[in-house]
Amino acid sequence: MGNSSSMLTQYDLEELQTHCQGIFSQREIVALYERFCALDRTGKGFILSDEFMAVPEFALNPLAERLLRTLEGVNFKEFITLLSAFSARASYEHKVEFIFRVYDSDRNGKVTMYDILEVLRDLSGSFLTDDQRKQVVIQALEEAGFSEDSALTYQDFLEVLNKAGLKMEVEVPVD
Partner 1 sequence: MASVLATAAGKTGKAGMPSLFTHSASEMDLYEYNAEDSMVKSPVDSQNKKLLLCNLLDISPVLNEAASAIVDDSFTRCFKSNISEPWNWNIYLFPLWCLGVVFRHTILFPIRLLLLAIGWVIFLACFYPIHMLLKGHDNIRQKLERGLVEFICSVFVASWTGVVKYHGPRPSRRPKQVFVANHTSMIDFVILEQMTAFAVIMQKHPGWVGLLQTTVLESLGCIWFNRTESKDRLIVAEKLKRHVEDPESNPLLIFPEGTCVNNEYTVMFKKGAFELGCAVCPVAIKYNKIFVDAFWNSKKQSFTTHLIQLMTSWAVVCDVWYLEPQTIRPGETAIEFAERVRDMIAKRAGIKKVPWDGYLKYYRPSPKMTEKKQQKYSETIVQQLQDTRLT
CB 72 within 8 A of CB 49: yes
Please, what is the minimum distance in Å from the beta carbon of residue 24 to partner 1? 11
CB of 10 to partner 1, least distance (A): 21
- Alpha carbon of 93 to those of 40, 89, 100, 139, 154: distances in Å? 30, 12, 10, 26, 9
Least Å distance, CB 15 to partner 1, is 21
Q: Residue 59: how many CA atoms within 13 Å on its side-chain side?
A: 8
Cα–Cα dist 114/97, whole Å: 19
Which residue, 13 or 85, has its beta carbon nearer to partner 1? 85
| Cβ closest to partner 1, residue 11 vs residue 129 | 129
Q: How far is the CB of 139 from partner 1 (least distance, A)?
A: 5
Residues binding partner 1 (CB under 8 A)? 1, 3, 32, 35, 38-39, 52-53, 55-64, 67, 71, 83, 86, 95, 98-99, 102-103, 116, 119-120, 123-128, 132, 135-137, 139-141, 143-144, 146, 157, 160-162, 165-173
Q: Please say which residue, 11 or 86, places its beta carbon nearer to partner 1.
A: 86
Instruction: Report yes or no: 52 and 68 within 8 Å, Cβ to Cβ.
Output: yes
